[in-house]
Amino acid sequence: MSLDALEIQKIISSGKLDKERNFWSELLSGDKELTRFPEDRQSGSEGAAIERREWRTAFGSELSERIRSLSGGSDIAAFLVMLFGVQLVASKYAYAAETLLVTPVFDWPEDGASVNELLVIPFEPDPNASFRANLNALRARFAAILEHQNYPFNQLVKERGWGDEEGADFRIPIAVGSRRLHPDRMRDGTAADCRFWFEEQDGGWSLDIGWHSGRYSEALAQAIASHYVEALSQLLSRPDAPISELNLLPDSEWDRVVRVFNDTEGPFPGDRTLHELFIGQAARTPDAVAAMYKDQTMTYGELDEASNRLASALRQAGVGPEVKVGLLCKRSFDMLTGVLGILKAGGAYVPIDTAWPKRRVQTVLEQIGAKHLVTQREAVGPFSDLLWRSAELEHIVLLDEKGNEPAIVLPDRESIVRMFDDVAAKAEDRIQAGGFFSSYTGLPFTESEVNEYRDRVAELTAPFAGADAKALEIGCGSGLILFELAERFGRYVGLDPSPVTQERNRSRLEECGLTDRVELITGFAEDIGGMPDGSFDVVLLPSTIQFFSDHFYLEKVLRDAVRLLRPGGALIVADVLDEEAKEDFRSSLEEFKRNHGTFYKSRSNFDQQLYVHEDFFGGIAGQYPGMRAEVFKRTASFKNELRFRYDVVLTKPSGSSSGSASNLKRFYTQRQLQEENVQALSASANPSGTAYIIFTSGSTGTPKGVVVSHRPVVNVIDWVNGTFGVNERDRLFFLTSLCFDLSVYDLFGMFAAGGAIDIVPEEDVRKPETWPQRMADSGITIWDSAPAALAQSIPFFEKFEGKLPRTRLFMLSGDWIPLTLPGQLHRLFEGSKVAALGGATEACIWSNYYEVKAVDPQWKSIPYGKPIRNAKYYILDRELKPCPIGARGELFIGGQCLANGYHSEALTKERFIRDPYAEDPNARMYRTGDLAKWMPDGNIEFLGRVDHQVKIRGFRVELGEIQAKLLRHPDISNCIVLDCMDGSGQKALCAYYAAAADLPFRQLREFLAGDLPGYMIPSYFVRLDAIPVTSNGKVDRTALPDPVTLVRSDAVYEPPANEIEAELVEIWKQLLELDTVGVNDNFFEIGGHSLLAVKMDIEMEQRGLLISPEDFQQCYTIRDLSRYTTKVSVDADSDV
Amino acid sequence: MRTLTFDREAESVPGAGDSPHGEPKLGLYAVDVSRALTADMQVSFTELCSPRRRARLGRFRHPDDAKRSLMAEMLARAAIGAEWLPEHASGELAFGQDRYGKPYLIGHSELHFNLSHSGRWCACAVSTAPVGVDVEQVRPMELSWTDKFLSADEREDLRAIGESDRLWRFYELWTRKESYAKAMGRGLTPELLSVSVAEGGAEALAPYRIRSSCLDDSHPAAVCAALPELRGDWTVWTPEEIAARVLRRHGMNERG
C-alpha cells in the first residue's frame, strides 16, 4: 500500500526529501527519457484487444551457474548482472548510448507504507570497458540510487514531463524485476509496455518477458528475448573482454540482414556514359520527339545536332574530362542542349538555378573554379556582373543569343532625353542643374558638398592633364566637371544626351571663351563606338554610369573607352554606386527617415540605378595585360550619401601600342555555334569520370557539392526502366529543377528509353491548377516528383472536367509521403503504379524502392522498401555493427550506387567511409544520418533523422505518426506537423492541415486523443487551402504561417449567458475577426488594441449598449463589461 | 530656395533632450521584432518575467502579440538599465501596474516610462517627467466612423489632405492622441479623445508637448511629455543587443 498523492505532496513540500530531489535532479538533468523498444504495432488499431502477453525462456544450467558464480550468491548482484544484459539489449534496439530502465524498489517495509515503489536506473555502459568493469560501475550507480530511493517515482514522471498533465495512462516503457527481490504484485500490477522478470528455481534462472500486444508483436518480443539470452551468454563467457566485441546477432540473422536482404547484384551497362545512352537512341529514332515545351517539340535528331555543335565549341574552348562547366538556363530546350553538350565535350555539368541569390551563384562558380559557363542572355541578366568579376571565367555560351555578340539593352533615348532636358529646364542654379539632390531630404546639396565632389574628380584627373592632352567626358551634363577641367587640357570633348543641356553649355562656353578648346556632342554613351582608336588621354565618366541599363552595356562602353585611350592614358569612372555599400546606404536612409521622418521627402529608388561592385572593375582591368584598376573609396571625407560611392581609375600601360587585349571574355552565340561541326565528336567516354556536380545546402550555410560519375547513375536508370518497362511511348512530366537530381532521371531515363519529356514552363511550375490540362494535352504517362507537389494537385485532378491522361507510373521521393496519396492516385488513375523511391543525392538519385499496392492502416509511413539493383543497405548500431531486425539504427548505403563524394575532401572522408561488409576492400558506404529499422520481410522502415529529433516535454515525438493519424480524418486532404514555439517560449506542436473549411479545434483534439498520448496532440491547428511547396516539390516550411489557435490553460471558454453578452460577443467577433470569443477572454489578449476599443465603444453606443467611460476603461472581458452595461432601445431617428 | 547642410555629426544629438546640467531627460528606444526570436532567447526572456506576466504571455491568442509584449518589457529593461539606472541589474527591475493598467517601476517613482507595440515595432520612452509613447502599424481601414471622436480641426485636417495620404495622417493623429492620453495616465477617455492634437493647437495641451515621428514607412509613432522640448533620436536595438544587455546584467548566459 502506498501513500496517496496528497500525503506525498505534503512530505515533499516539507523539505524532507530535498536531498533526494537534488540527487535525482542532477542524475536526470538534460532531456533524458525512459528507454523503449521500437514498436512494431500501433496502439489503437481497430479490433485488436489489447492484452498482456508473456513468454518464458529458461537460461539453462550452464548460464545459470555462471550467473551464480559471478554474483557470489548475492541476489542483488545476480540481479545487476541480468539487468546489465537488459540495458545492453535495450541500448542496441533503441539506438541509445544511455538507457533508463525502471525497476521496483528494493526495500519493502513490513507494514507496507512506502513513499515510493519504483526506481529509474540511468546507466551508460562503456563499450571499451569489460563486463566486469561495467558491472562495478553499475553497482556504484545502483548503491547511490538506493540511498535516494524514497523519492516518489510519480513525482519524477511529472517533473521530467514523462507523463502528460492529465496523468492518464502512463505506461513504463521497460520494467525489470526479479521474483527473489520484488513482490509478485509488482510484476503484474505495474503498467508496462515491456517487462523483464527473472525467476530462479533450483538454481536455474529463467526470463519471463511480458509485453503489450498493442505495441509489440510476439515475434519481436521473442526475438528480443533470444537476443537477450545470447548477450548474457557472451558477457558471462568473456567477462574481461571489452563489451564492444559483443556480437548480438546469431550467424543466421547476421547473414540475413547483411547478405540476404542485400542480394541485389545484377548486370547493367557499366561501360556506357549518360550521353551515350542518348546518342544510341538518337541514332535509332532521330525523328522521334525528345522534348516538348509549350507548343513546340524537339526531336532526338535536332537535340543531337544542337548538342554536337555546343560540344564542339566547348571542346575547342578547352572542355574535357573533369572540367566543370556551369549551366545556368531557364526552363527551355536550351537546358537539354546545355546538359548534353557539356557531357559530349567530356566535361561535367554543374547546374545553377536562376532563382538562387547572386551570392550563392558566385560561391558555386568560385568553388568549381569555372572557366566555362553555358547560359542564356535572359537567364544570366541579374548575374551579369559576375561574368567579369570572376577572373577564372573565360568562355561564356549564350544559347539564346542570335546576334554576333551579347545583345546590349539600349537606353530608351526619348525618355532619357526628356528627363535630362526637364532637369535642365527646371534648374535654378548649377547645383540643381547637375541633379544633385539629397536622397535623404530631397533637397539640393550645398555648394560645398558639390564642390567637394568636383575637386575629387579634378584631383584624380590631374596626373593625366596637360597642354597636349585630350579628354573625353561622357555624360558632361550641366558642365560641373567640364568647366573646371577644360582649361587643363589641350582639347576637351563633352558628350551628353540632352540637347537642352548642351545648348546651355554652348552659350556658357562662348561667355568663357572656351569654344576653340571644347567640343560638345549630343549623344549617348554607346555612340563612342564610332570614334577612332587612341584618340584621348583621358576618358571620364563622372556620375554617369548609374544611369546605364545593365552591366553588359557598361562593359561595352568601358571596352570602347579603353580602345579610345592612348597608351598611358586613364579611364576615370567617378561617383560609382557601391554595390557592397548598398545595404548600409539603405539602413542609413531608414534611420534618417525614422528621426526626421514625415517632414522630408526621402527618396529611395534603388532598383532604378546601376550599382557596381569594385571587383567588376578589377575584372575589366584584368582583361588587359598591364592595366591597373585603382579604387578610391570615400571613407575619409564626404559626409553625405556620396560616401557610399567610390571612384576608380584604370590606367592603360604605356608599352603596348594597340588596344587589343588577350584576355577579353569570349562570348559564343548561336552564330558561332551554327558554324560548328554537327557531327558527333569522337567518344570521350569514361563512365568513371564525373558527370555532374549538384550543390545542396550545407548545414553551415555554405553549399556543398555532390560529385557524381556516370556509372552509378546508369545503374539506377537502367534498373528503373527495366523494372517499370519504360519505353519510347512514355511521356514524362518534367517539373523539377536541374539542381535537383530527380531531373537526371527525368532527362536520361527518358532519353535512354526513347520517350519524351514535357518541360513545364517556369510560370506554371508553381501552378498545380494548370497541370491536369497540360498533362492531358501531352499524354503524360510518367510522373516523377517529391510527394508534396503531387499531393497539392490532387484536388485539381479531381475537379478536372476533361479526360485525365493515362498516367501509369507515379514515382515519389524525397520527402514524407502522405498515406492517403497512393489510394487517391489508384482511384484517379486506374491501373497505375505508385513507386516510393528513396535514397540521397550522395547515393545517386535513388537506391531503395517500395511499390505501394494497398496501404496498411497500421503503417505510420510508407515503407522505405528494399535496395535496388547493386545497392546495399546496412542498419548499424553506434559501433557500426549490424542491428537485429526490429532494432533502430543508423542507415548506411553501400554498393555501386554511390557518388564519388563531395567537392570538399574533408567532408567526403567524414561521410563516405570504408564498407567493412563488402568483399571488395575498396568498397565504401555512405553515412546517411537517418535512422531506420529492418522489418522481417526485408523492407526498411524510415524513422527520421539522427540529429533532428523532435522532443516535446522530454518525449521523443515522431511527427510522421501524428501526420498519419491526422490524415485519417475524413475532411483533411493533406497535412504536416512541425514543432514550434508557443507564446510562453516552450516547445509545442503545430499541425497545418488542408481542408475545405475550418475544423473545430476541440473536435480535432478529440479525434487524435483516441490514438495518441497527450503530449503528441498538437497545441496549434492551422487550416490552409493547400500545403505550400518549394521548387523542388518539398514542403515549403518558410511559407507556413504562424499558428493562431492557442490552447488556453487559464481563460476557460464560456458562451454568453445573456443577451447583452451575446451582442458583445458578436461585436468582438467582427472587430477582432475571430470565429470564437468567450466571455472570459481579455480583449487585449485576443488581438484587441486601443483603436479597436474605441471602435467597440462607438459600436456599443450605436446598438444602445450604454456604459460609463470609467467602467469601460476598467473592464477587459465581456463578462465584466456586461455587468456595467445597460441596454436601451435605439430610436431610429435619434442622432447617434 | 532652401539650402540645408546634412551634417552627419549634427544628426546624432548627444544626450537627447539635454537639460542645461547635461542629464538626459528623454530617451526613445525601439526594437524590430519581425524576425523570429531564437528559442533560447524566448525562454531566457520569459524567465525574467514575474509568474503573473508569464501566465499572461501564455494566454495571448496570437503568438505575435505575446512576442511583442515580451519584447516590449525586455526593451524597457534594457533601456532603463542602460542609461537611467545603470547601477541596477536589468533583471532585478520589478514592474507594477497602477489602477489604470499603466506599468510603473517599483521603487523608482521619479523615473517615468511608457511602452507601445504594434506590427513590427516595440517602442519605449523613458523620462524624468510623465511620458506617453504610441506606435501604430498603418493598416487599410475605412475612416468614416472616426469622425465621431475627432475634433473639428482634426476633421478639417483630414478632409484637406489628399485621399492617398489620408490613412497615414489619420494614424499619425491617432498616435498623437494616444501618446497624450498615455502620458496623462488615465486611459483614453472621451474627453481626452476629443482634445485636438493637430500641430496647430499646441498651446491647448501645454505643458505637454507632442512630437511625431515614424519608425519606418508603415509605422508612425508619437511621444508626449511635459518637457520644454522633446529632442532626441530613436535608439534602435536588435533583439540580440537587448538580450546582451538584459541577460548579461542578470548574470545569465544566453544559451546557444
DSSP string, A951-1018: EETTEEE-HHHHHHHHHTSTT--EEEEEEEE-TTS-EEEEEEEE-SSPPPHHHHHHHHHTTS-GGGS-
Measured between its terminal Cα atoms, the distance across chain A in Å is 72
Write down the ipTM of this complex: 0.83
Residue A971, pLDDT above cutoff 70: yes
Mean pLDDT of A364-392: 94
And the C-alpha cell for A76?
Answer: 542483488
Q: How far is CA A392 from the centre of its chain?
A: 30
Instruction: Give the confidence band of A1045 by pLDDT, cuts at 50, 70, 90.
Output: very low
Instruction: Compare CB distances from B214 to A446, A598, A1087 and report the shortest one's residue.
Output: A598
Q: What is the pLDDT of residue A1090?
A: 87
DSSP codes joined into one string, A106-120: S---TT--BS--EEE
Measured between CB atoms, does B142 come within 8 Å of chain A?
Answer: no
A139-180 pLDDT per residue, tens: 999 999 999 988 888 888 877 767 654 455 678 899 999 998
Residue A123, pLDDT above cutoff 90: yes
Contact A408, A552 (CB under 8 A): yes
Contact A270, A688 (CB under 8 A): no
And the C-alpha cell for A814?
Answer: 524525397
Contacts of A990 (CB under 8 A, 6+ apart): A977, A978, A979, A980, A1018, A1019, A1020, A1021, A1022, A1043
User: Using CA atoms, how far apart are residues A738 and A342, in angstroms rounded to an integer?
Assistant: 14
Instruction: Give the confidence band of B37 by pLDDT, cuts at 50, 70, 90.
Output: confident
Q: Which of A472, A518, A464 is nearest to A495 (CA)?
A: A472
User: Using CA atoms, how far apart are residues A739 and A750, in angstroms rounded to an integer?
Assistant: 18
Measured between CB atoms, does B4 come within 8 Å of chain A?
Answer: yes
Query: Which single residue is written with the C-alpha cell 568553388?
Result: A367
Q: How far is A171 from chain B (nearest CA, A)?
A: 29
**B234–A1113 CB contact, under 8 Å:** no
Instruction: Give the confidence band of A64 by pLDDT, cuts at 50, 70, 90.
Output: very high
And the C-alpha cell for A859?
Answer: 503503417
Backbone angles phi, psi at A123, to 5 degrees: -155, 140
Chain B residues with CB under 8 Å of A981 CB are 37, 39, 42, 63
Residue A1086: closest CA among chain B residues belongs to which residue? B61
Measured between CB atoms, does B7 come within 8 Å of chain A?
Answer: yes
Query: Which single residue is written with the C-alpha cell 567588376?
Result: A616
A202-257 pLDDT per residue, tens: 889 999 999 988 888 899 999 999 999 999 999 999 999 999 888 888 899 999 99
B150-189 residues touching A, CB cutoff 8 A: 172, 174, 178, 186-189
Contact A154, A7 (CB under 8 A): no
Measured between CB atoms, does B235 come within 8 Å of chain A?
Answer: no
Residue A666, pLDDT above cutoff 80: yes
Tell me, what amino acid is at A705?
G
Mean pLDDT of B76-100: 79
User: Using CA atoms, how far apart are residues B218 and B138, in angstroms rounded to an integer?
Assistant: 5
Residue B68: closest CA among chain A residues belongs to which residue? A983
Q: Residue B115: helix, strand or coil by DSSP? A: strand
Contact A518, A494 (CB under 8 A): yes
A388-430 pLDDT per residue, tens: 999 899 999 999 999 888 888 888 888 888 888 888 887 777 7
Instruction: Give the confidence band of A37 by pLDDT, cuts at 50, 70, 90.
Output: very high
Q: Please give the order of strands across the beta sheet that includes A974-981.
A: A974-981, A987-994, A1020-1024
Q: What is the pLDDT of residue A663?
A: 81
**B236–A594 CB contact, under 8 Å:** yes
Tell me, what amino acid is at A796?
F
Q: What is the pLDDT of residue B8?
A: 20
Q: Which of A776, A782, A791, A778 is nearest to A724 (CA)?
A: A782
What per-residue string of b and e applies to A146-166 under the rule 16 or more CB within 10 Å gives b?
A: eebbbbbbbbbbeebbbbbee
- In chain A, the largest separation of any two C-alpha atoms, in whole Å, equals 127
More confident residue, A754 or A250: A754
CA angle B24, B30, B36 (to 5 degrees): 150
**A440–B213 CB contact, under 8 Å:** no
Instruction: Give the confidence band of A738 by pLDDT, cuts at 50, 70, 90.
Output: very high
Chain B residues with CB under 8 Å of A597 CB are 212-214, 220
User: Using CA atoms, how far apart are residues A212 and A221, in angstroms rounded to an integer?
Assistant: 10
Instruction: Give the confidence band of A46 by pLDDT, cuts at 50, 70, 90.
Output: very low
Q: What is the pLDDT of residue B170?
A: 93
Tell me, what amino acid is at A340?
L
Instruction: Give the confidence band of B204 by pLDDT, cuts at 50, 70, 90.
Output: confident
Q: How far is A1046 from chain B (nearest CA, A)?
A: 6
Long-range pairs for A47-50: beta carbons < 8 A, 24 or more residues apart: A48/A213, A48/A214, A49/A213, A50/A212, A50/A213, A50/A214
DSSP codes joined into one string, A664-717: PPEEE-HHHHHTS--SPPPP---TTSEEEEEEE--TTSS-EEEEEEHHHHHHHH
Contact A648, A543 (CB under 8 A): no
Mean pLDDT of B227-249: 85
Q: Which of A991, A558, A1004, A1027 is nearest to A768 (CA)?
A: A1027
Residue B252, pLDDT above cutoff 60: no
Which range, of A486-495, A580-589, A729-738, B131-140, averages the lowest pLDDT? A580-589
Q: What is the DSSP letter of A1123?
A: H
User: Using CA atoms, how far apart are residues A24 and A148, in angstroms rounded to an integer?
Assistant: 8
Q: What is the pLDDT of residue B256?
A: 28
Mean pLDDT of B184-209: 80
Instruction: Give the confidence band of A116 by pLDDT, cuts at 50, 70, 90.
Output: confident
Backbone angles phi, psi at A428, to 5 degrees: -100, -20
Q: Which of A1027, A1038, A1030 is nearest to A766 (CA)?
A: A1030
Residue A458, pLDDT above cutoff 50: yes
Contacts of A576 (CB under 8 A, 6+ apart): A545, A546, A612, A645, A646, A647, A648
Mean pLDDT of A968-977: 87
More confident residue, B229 or A1033: B229
**A598–B65 CB contact, under 8 Å:** no
Contact A492, A473 (CB under 8 A): yes
Measured between CB atoms, does B119 come within 8 Å of chain A?
Answer: no
User: Using CA atoms, how far apart are residues B224 and A125, in angstroms rounded to an integer?
Assistant: 66
Chain A residues with CB under 8 Å of B238 CB are none
Contact A841, A696 (CB under 8 A): yes
Query: Which single residue is written with the C-alpha cell 604605356?
Result: A654
Per cent of chain A over pLDDT 90 is 52
CA angle A792, A795, A798 (to 5 degrees): 140
More confident residue, A635 or A615: A615
A714-725 pLDDT per residue, tens: 999 999 999 999
Measured between its terminal Cα atoms, the distance across chain B in Å is 56
More confident residue, A361 or B232: A361
Mean pLDDT of A288-295: 95
Residue A954, pLDDT above cutoff 70: no
Mean pLDDT of A898-920: 92
Residue B19, pLDDT above cutoff 50: no
Per cent of chain B over pLDDT 90 is 30
How many residues are listed for chain A in this entry? Answer: 1136
Q: What is the pLDDT of residue A701?
A: 56
User: Using CA atoms, how far apart are residues A359 and A386, in angstroms rounded to an integer?
Assistant: 10
A797-834 pLDDT per residue, tens: 999 999 999 999 999 987 778 888 999 999 999 999 99
